[in-house]
Amino acid sequence: MAERLQKVMANAGVASRRASEKMILDGRVRVNGKVIKELGQKVDGNDVIEVDGHLIEREEKVYYLFYKPRGVISAAKDDKGRKVVTDYFTDYSERVYPVGRLDYDTSGLLLLTNDGELANRLMHPRYKVNKTYVAKVKGIVQNDELKQLRVGVRLKDGKKSARAKAKILSLDKKSDTSIVSLTIHEGRNHQVKNMLQAVGHPVKKLKRETYGFLTLAGLTSGQYRELTREEVKALYELGNK
């Protein structure tokens, strides 16, 4: 939808509508590279708007904490037509993207946002955001295997995993399964599954319970909530360390 340039500038938080009009009249605003000096100009979502040579941010930033169900792809679309996480956010005009990925068959905490800067920071290995997973695995996990997980195990790609926290939550001899909690800050493909496989315990079920200081409290599978301003600020700070 085309809207007046000064309105779009005001919505993007550049300045009030009045002040934006003055900026236009002063020749400080370009649309698609061309200086615009009249107030009648209309623009749509495809137009590139610059003020004093800086691109303006058109969309309001939104942040969601989603309890991803099993059987959903962590992407904005899927070639095979399977359900994707963004299918849960179709009522909003802002397009959101998942921050990192959870496997199709993994459930749990996934952040979605249109704030590319925050997403890139959080996904950057340098920031080492802790994530806690709970896995149901085949077999009875032994203490020495926990120790290996804690110091790092050699993965399929030949690289060693970083230090991790690992503990047994329960053991079930009858069904020959264990429930373990694993906290890691790396995010390599299938990392938790590969770590547990490396100590001889294939994963049967996996859930991500925490992401940094965030938890799934109050949500059931398929539900989401908006992050508070304080949480967004704290995530930025996580990414500053």
Catalytic residue among 103, 105, 115, 172: 103
103 is catalytic: yes
- Structure token pair of residue 24: 């236009």
Name the segment binding ligand URA (CB under 6 A); options: 28-36, 110-118, 188-196, 227-235: 188-196
For 50, counting Cβ atoms within 10 Å of its Cβ (0-12 exposed, 13-18 middle, 19+ buried), the class is middle
56 versus 219: smaller Cβ distance to ligand URA: 219
DSSP string, 128-170: ---EEEEEEEES---HHHHHHHHH--B-TTSPBPPP-EEEEEE
Number of continuous H segments (helices) and E segments (strands) in the chain:
6, 15
Give the nearest distance from C-beta 189 to ligand URA in angstroms.
8
Distance CA 236, CA 241 (A): 9
Taking residues 191 to 220 in sequence order and writing x for each that binds ligand URA by CB under 6 A, - otherwise, the string is: xxx------------x--------------
Q: Please report whether residue 70 would count as binding ligand URA according to CB under 6 A.
A: no
Nearest to 46 by CA among 76, 3, 16: 3
Give the nearest distance from C-beta 214 to ligand URA in angstroms.
15
121 versus 193: smaller Cβ distance to ligand URA: 193
For 101, counting Cβ atoms within 10 Å of its Cβ (0-12 exposed, 13-18 middle, 19+ buried), the class is middle
Taking residues 79 to 118 in sequence order and writing x for each that binds ligand URA by CB under 6 A, - otherwise, the string is: -----------------------xx--x------------
Beta strands 203-211 and 106-113: pairing type? parallel
13 versus 71: smaller Cβ distance to ligand URA: 71
139 versus 187: smaller Cβ distance to ligand URA: 187
Binding-site size for ligand URA (CB under 6 A) equals 8
Give the nearest distance from C-beta 198 to ligand URA in angstroms.
12
14 versus 203: smaller Cβ distance to ligand URA: 203
- Structure token pair of residue 66: 């989603």
Nearest to 66 by CA among 107, 38, 34, 36: 107
Binding residue for ligand URA, selected from 28, 61, 185, 190, defined by CB under 6 A: 190
**Residues near 172 by beta carbon (within 8 Å), at least 6 away in sequence:** 178, 179
Active site residues per annotation: 103
Contact residues for ligand URA, defined by CB under 6 A: 102-103, 106, 190-193, 206
